[in-house]
Structure 1
Amino acid sequence: MPSIDRRNAIKTISKAAGAALATATLPVSAFSIGKAKPKLRVMGTHVTLQEELRQKAMHDLGIDLEFEAKGSAAVLQKASTNPQSFDLYEQWSNSINVLWRSNAIQKIEKSKIKYWDEINSLCKTGRVSPNAKIGAGDAPYKLLNVQDNGELSDKPSEHASFLPYVHNVDSFGYNTNVIEKGIPYETESWGWLLDPNYQGKVAIVNAPTIGLFDLALAAQARELVSFSDMGAMTKRELDQLFEVLIQYKQRGHFSGFWTSVPESVRFMKSDRVVIESMFSPAVSSLNGQNVPVTFAAPKEGYRGWHGVMCLSSATTGRMKDVAYEYMNWWLSGWPGAFIARQGYYISNPQRSKEYLSQAEYAYWYEGNAAATALKGTDGKVSVAAGTLRTGGSYEKRFENVAVWNTVMPTYEYSLQKWYEFLSA
């Protein structure tokens, strides 16, 4: 009996070893030693960290993706203090100075970006056309190139501080059931945000490097304050601005301060506000729900922003390679077409053109009337046939940037004043 048991045991072990060997040689990377499906951690805002994009990227790249979306101030604070918490960071160019100075991000090798040469001139030279205004503040081209001494500048180099991808111009949205529809670049004005007629029905984005400029543009439009350089306000100018804003707040002018696109949608849909700082996806969403919101083209010019994808200083090895794969995926065509349907642009639009219908490209990029009803990213009609996009073509909109989202030299002082304003 002992010898029989021994023979049986040997047979059992042999079968198990054979099964293990067969499993080990299966052509499935998840079961191969050292080939487990990598998980890429992306931190950012709800603007780009959307479920449809996550699912498509995982399918196309064969990776796991973990999205961590928060308000812009919250993600910037976490990323700048804890680079180990993410592999890639997605936000706006105004975050670059903070991230770079805190050593939270590392330089990107342009040679590893497959479509780098296709990226248009807006981020590389500051102008999308010869007649375009550069705009005050942190125009992204000023921060793009990493020099040998570690400084950021507009001088071309082999390394970038960020990948230029999604971008747009922002302004405010207003409900045309309440506020008469204005004329783009002629009557629509940032000053409407501080119009006493809308007291108690106004909301502002709660981000000191964004909402601050919405209010500065509004105050200047109403001739309540003036700035020698809005992209670099002095302490005295900030004091004057916030003295005015606190008076407005104490009179109950502002209904709220939103921190995410979904929250801004709720504010408008519930009639809590009739005018507010807005991002394009919120306007598309509301139009898709039959809420008549117009995205203004202010005569003073837009507040511009450029999306930046940054590589964590803590990301190395295989995860660094995966991060480059994901960055290249973003410029590969489909993602740019997807975000076009919520009103955003991609830095190499010609590659996305083939993923858009002729009617979509003509409306979103060329400023032509919609030949047919167009759907947003949620599958609902967000653009009625015959509608013109407020502000016109891509070139027209980016020829009229008044100021970019910016971290000013007086950033710390502006933060102090911002939070005094919120608590007043």
Structure 2
Amino acid sequence: MDLPKRATLKKIATLGATASIITHVPYVFARKKTTLRVLGTHVTLQEAIRKQAMDDLGLEIVFSVAGSASVLQQASMDPNSFDLYEQWSNSINVLWSAGSIQPIEKKRITHFNEINSLTKTGKLTQDASIGAGDAPYKLLNIQGDGTLNAQETDLISYLPYVHNVDSFGYNLDSIPLGSAYESESWAWLLDEKNRGKVGIVNAPTIGIFDLALAAQSKGLIKFVDIGAMTRDELDRLFFILLDYKKQKHFNGFWNSVPESVEFMKNNRVSIQSMFSPAVESLNSQGVNVRFAAPKEGYRGWHGVMCLSSQITSNTKDAAYDYMNWWLSGWPGAFIARQGYYISNPERSKPLLSEAEWQYWYEGKEATEALLNTQGKVSVEAGNVRSGGSYLKRFSNVAVWNTVMPTYDYSLQKWYELISR
């Protein structure tokens, strides 16, 4: 997609305004003591990760953490403000068009050959659904003419690392338990029984798909291609959503994982868009939240780690060390405990207990209580992960977080919805 830089930055500015096993990794060390500035969200920019990376790499690392809309605005407007950017693949088209990021040399990624097929071919299994929209493999490789597509080259736009499928979470104290891939449905977000107790993620390239899937699943609208909605389809969708807003169906639009935890913990909502770390956090606090496996399929996302276009040479060496560290084993094991996957899971497998691997990756029953990244029990013995195994979950992607061809227009409609 070709987004004019000036128009894109204007829209991004508007968006921002509205919005345990410790194993050292001796083979990667920064070439000199330097400070690496990492911009991203609460999803991966956690203090335990920062400390472990500094210990392993001999770097000074500074995390700058904010909500998805804010970090995308900052990265697009000011590439001098960060060295590495961490967010989701739907930000790639925006950042690449804005000139905020630069190519990554595959030959400098130590374990690139271990990265699985999800970001190389779009599938983990032969019969998997690739899903509509910006499947990450479509955005990975940089072509000679500067475009991004699936054709393999020596330069990539982002480092594939963490990823997952998202849906919604619901409080079992308020909503009866459904069945994975059978009765659980995106339509529940627009069910009249939940009126006044619904929360949605405030991100136009994410929340819009949660609501589009909900409206389509409820039979209120049908999209020709949900990953590339037309202006007419957007008009019809937001006409429906504005009517729900007038009826006070939505109780809030959250901007960060901690905020989504508070929404549910304080009983502000009983059902909402959710990310896996929020569900694990709530479960560890005794809030009985279920992460749905919708029969229509998940909304998929893929983490991206990107080099600032303005990074200096010495800092760039440190940035490559940090990127390689993320694929070295420990980080993948750490984020597995919050329900996330890593692009080369076999390297992290030895750092997970057999019970952890079987629960998080294989979808089997937990044979013992499992701890989350804060060291608190988030999975009781006998539980089975919602949606099943890694392969099962990624075989059921309905749509990816996406910057659609109608991106600018979708932003206008989104602002109208959240501001009324």
TM interval, shorter chain, is over 0.9
Partner of 2:292: 296
Give the counterpart letter for 2:87 in structure 1: Q
Partner of 1:136: 132
Equivalent residue for 2:114, pick from 118, 121, 136: 118
Q: What displacement does 1:423 show?
A: 1.4
Equivalent residue for 2:177, pick from 167, 170, 181: 181
Partner of 2:332: 336
Partner of 1:219: 215
Query: 1:125 aligns to what SS in structure 2?
Result: coil
Equivalent residue for 2:155, pick from 152, 159, 164: 159
Q: What displacement does 1:36 show?
A: 6.8
Give the counterpart letter for 2:354 in structure 1: Q
2:230 is the counterpart of 1:234: yes
Equivalent residue for 1:210, pick from 206, 211, 234: 206
Equivalent residue for 2:354, pick from 358, 361, 365: 358
Q: What displacement does 1:89 show?
A: 0.2
Partner of 2:304: 308
Distance 1:234 1:343 in 2: 34
Runs ≥4 residues deviating over 3 A? none
Distance 1:324 1:149 in 2: 25
Q: What displacement does 1:98 show?
A: 0.4
- Measured on the aligned residues, the alpha-carbon RMSD in Å equals 0.7
Partner of 1:11: none
Distance 2:116 2:397 in 1: 17
Partner of 1:324: 320
Counterparts of 1:4-403 in structure 2, within 5 Å, are 37-403=33-399
Distance 1:152 1:197 in 2: 44
Query: 1:303 aligns to what SS in structure 2?
Result: strand
Query: 2:341 aligns to what SS in structure 1?
Result: coil
Give the counterpart letter for 1:65 in structure 2: I
Distance 1:82 1:316 in 2: 15
Distance 2:159 2:48 in 1: 21
Query: 1:354 aligns to what SS in structure 2?
Result: helix
Query: 2:405 aligns to what SS in structure 1?
Result: coil
Distance 1:193 1:56 in 2: 39
Structure showing greater Rg = 1
Q: What displacement does 1:316 show?
A: 2.5
Q: What displacement does 1:150 show?
A: 1.2
Query: 1:407 aligns to what SS in structure 2?
Result: coil
Distance 1:410 1:68 in 2: 30
Give the counterpart letter for 2:80 in structure 1: Q
The alignment-based identity, stated in percent, is 67
Distance 2:370 2:399 in 1: 30
Distance 2:355 2:302 in 1: 25
Give the counterpart letter for 2:134 in structure 1: D
Distance 2:38 2:202 in 1: 22
Distance 2:148 2:272 in 1: 34
Q: What displacement does 1:81 show?
A: 1.3
User: Once structures 1 and 2 are overlaid, which stretch shifts more, 410-419 or 142-151?
Assistant: 142-151
TM-score by length of 2: 0.92
Q: What displacement does 1:151 show?
A: 1.1
Give the counterpart letter for 1:70 in structure 2: A
Cα 1:36–1:134 change in 2 (3 A) is closer
TM-score by length of 1: 0.91
Q: What displacement does 1:142 show?
A: 0.2
Query: 1:204 aligns to what SS in structure 2?
Result: strand
User: Once structures 1 and 2 are overlaid, which stretch shifts more, 35-44 or 107-116?
Assistant: 35-44
Q: What displacement does 1:37 show?
A: 2.5
Distance 2:237 2:218 in 1: 12
Distance 1:45 1:66 in 2: 13
Give the counterpart letter for 1:156 in structure 2: E
Structure 2 unaligned residues grouped into runs of 5+: 1-30
